[in-house]
Amino acid sequence: MRTRPLKVALLGCGVVGTEVARIMTTHADDLAARIGAPVELAGVAVRRPGKVRDGIDPRLVTTDATALVKRGDIDVVVEVIGGIEPARTLITTAFEHGASVVSANKALLAQDGAALHAAAEQSNNDLYYEAAVAGAIPLIRPLRESLAGDKVNRVLGIVNGTTNFILDKMDSTGAGYQEALDEATALGYAEADPTADVEGFDAAAKAAILAGIAFHTRVRLDDVHREGMTEVTAADFASAREMGCTIKLLAICERAADGASVTARVHPAMIPLTHPLASVRGAYNAVFVESDASGQLMFYGPGAGGAPTASAVLGDLVAVCRNRLNGATGPGESAYAALPVSGMGEVVTRYHISLDVADKPGVLAQVATVFAEHGVSIDTVRQQGKDGEASLVVVTHRASDAALGGTVEALRKLDTVRGVASIMRVEGE
């Protein structure tokens, strides 16, 4: 074993960084044995130097992250600050000064992954980011490496623990959205401002990263269709149950049936209770991968939290250090397929539509005609009437989102349709 240590700069020492430092210290001997050289924490960059940080030698702490990455003797920079800047500049500066980078930063990778990969490649360094998607769950490396010989057709994931916790509460207790969100906040599962989670921004960033790797195609954050889950109601869960389904916020990356394009989207969807993703409870994450040769694979585990996320960071750190000792780099960006990324209109799926209609003869026929005119075939219809008003629940066969959009627009124009109470896609069948 080499005795000269590999030097690691830790940028950020918050929820994740604290655990990275702790595991580096407590597992130092095992890490050294697995890597073939000891790893030394050479510096820790933070914003507030005066904060007491258990287990961190205060002499290592600095507020000058730029100087730390420019030192010239750093082998690996671990970026767990988050956000776009200064993280982006620090990472590119690290490459320029000969260091490889391990990051947990989904926002940055989704926005600037291509440029960062190019910077890593030009400087002959590694860029690893297993922790950026679904915390502890090994996903990036299985997609990049284990499935490199297969053809992935679909990735269907619950990649945000906060929203899964809320939806699971609504499902199991009959609570409304706000009540479930309040409980998630009280228990620390939701942040004071939950927008990034409940509006699907966090999941969309992960979907962009996953789609890019799965389909060997650059998928930008803007390419991901995004709908939040704030409008899911207790009534939607009741409808879902009647269909033998539950509701999850899903990140869905799909290859079109003809293989010529891909789509990436995040939205709430009904999913059959028999689907493995339906049993993912609480704040857990899971990703279901469908590919030509392997068939169906499911990756499941804690998608966030200091120690679970640090586990993924440390796995990357070991891999990057091994590469360094071998004078090699791991796999970089693979975007050779360069498939076009289609918009939401091209997505083909099933729909559950709940309409408020007048309770009089002929309404059902009128509604059915509108569906037929737009080429959307109906699977089932359920009608409930009360005091001259009725609700009509229509479940369709597979149709394009564009066709469904046209259908709904036409339905809204019917005198007998008082309103479209909800539209939900049905996935995983």
Which one of residues 2, 47, 281, 397 is an interface residue with ligand NAP (CB under 6 A)?
Answer: 47
Considering beta carbons, is residue 133 or 426 the nearer one to ligand NAP?
Answer: 133
> Which pair of structure tokens corresponds to residue 240?
């879902």
Q: How far is the CB of 300 from ligand NAP (least distance, A)?
A: 16
Under a CB-based contact definition with an 8 Å cutoff, are residues 229 and 166 in contact? yes
Q: Which residue is nearest to ligand NAP (CB)?
A: 14
Binding track, positions 12-31, relative to ligand NAP; x by CB under 6 A: xxxxxx--------------
Q: How far is the CB of 322 from ligand NAP (least distance, A)?
A: 23
Which one of residues 36, 38, 86, 332 is an interface residue with ligand NAP (CB under 6 A)?
Answer: 86
Q: Which of residues 305-364 bind ligand NAP (CB under 6 A)?
A: 305, 309
Q: How far is the CB of 26 from ligand NAP (least distance, A)?
A: 18
Using the rule CB under 6 A, give the single segment among 43-51, 70-78, 213-221, 239-247 that binds ligand NAP. Answer: 43-51
Q: How far is the CB of 304 from ligand NAP (least distance, A)?
A: 3
Q: How far is the CB of 258 from ligand NAP (least distance, A)?
A: 35
Give the three-state DSSP class for 21: helix
Task: Look at strands 61-62 and 39-45 and give their pairing.
Answer: parallel
> Alpha-carbon distance 137 to 302, whole Å?
7
> Alpha-carbon distance 135 to 129, whole Å?
10
> Alpha-carbon distance 124 to 327, whole Å?
10
Q: Is 203 in the site for ligand NAP (CB under 6 A)?
A: no
**Active-site residue list:** 206
Considering beta carbons, is residue 127 or 390 the nearer one to ligand NAP?
Answer: 127
Considering beta carbons, is residue 212 or 303 the nearer one to ligand NAP?
Answer: 303
The CA-atom distances, in angstroms, between 362 and each of 29, 239, 312, 367 are: 77, 24, 59, 9
Give kind and range of the element (H or E) at residue 23. Answer: helix 15-26
Task: Look at strands 389-396 and 348-358 and give their pairing.
Answer: antiparallel
Give how many residues touch ligand NAP by CB under 6 A: 25
Using the rule CB under 6 A, give the single segment among 77-85, 333-341, 350-358, 369-377 that binds ligand NAP. Answer: 77-85
Which one of residues 80, 314, 367, 393 is an interface residue with ligand NAP (CB under 6 A)?
Answer: 80
> Alpha-carbon distance 34 to 12, whole Å?
25
> Which pair of structure tokens corresponds to residue 197?
């989670």
- In the block, tokens 């595991």 appear at 23
Binding track, positions 292-311, relative to ligand NAP; x by CB under 6 A: ------------xx---x--
Which one of residues 104, 159, 270, 404 is an interface residue with ligand NAP (CB under 6 A)?
Answer: 104
> Which pair of structure tokens corresponds to residue 343?
């918009």
Q: How far is the CB of 351 from ligand NAP (least distance, A)?
A: 33
> Alpha-carbon distance 425 to 236, whole Å?
12
The CA-atom distances, in angstroms, between 181 and each of 118, 167, 197, 200, 228 are: 40, 9, 11, 14, 13
Q: Is 207 in the site for ligand NAP (CB under 6 A)?
A: no
Using the rule CB under 6 A, give the single segment among 39-47, 187-195, 210-218, 241-249 that binds ligand NAP. Answer: 39-47
Q: Is 51 in the site for ligand NAP (CB under 6 A)?
A: yes
Q: Is 135 in the site for ligand NAP (CB under 6 A)?
A: yes
Residue in 357, 350, 351 with CA at minimum distance from that of residue 420: 357
Q: Long-range contacts: 394-399, Cβ < 8 Å, 24+?
A: 394/351, 394/352, 394/353, 394/355, 394/367, 395/243, 395/350, 395/351, 395/352, 395/353, 395/426, 396/350, 396/351, 396/353, 396/371, 397/350, 398/348, 398/349, 398/350, 399/348, 399/349, 399/350, 399/351, 399/375
Q: How far is the CB of 37 from ligand NAP (least distance, A)?
A: 26
Give the binding site for ligand NAP (CB under 6 A).
11-17, 45-48, 51, 65, 80-82, 86, 104-106, 131, 135, 304-305, 309
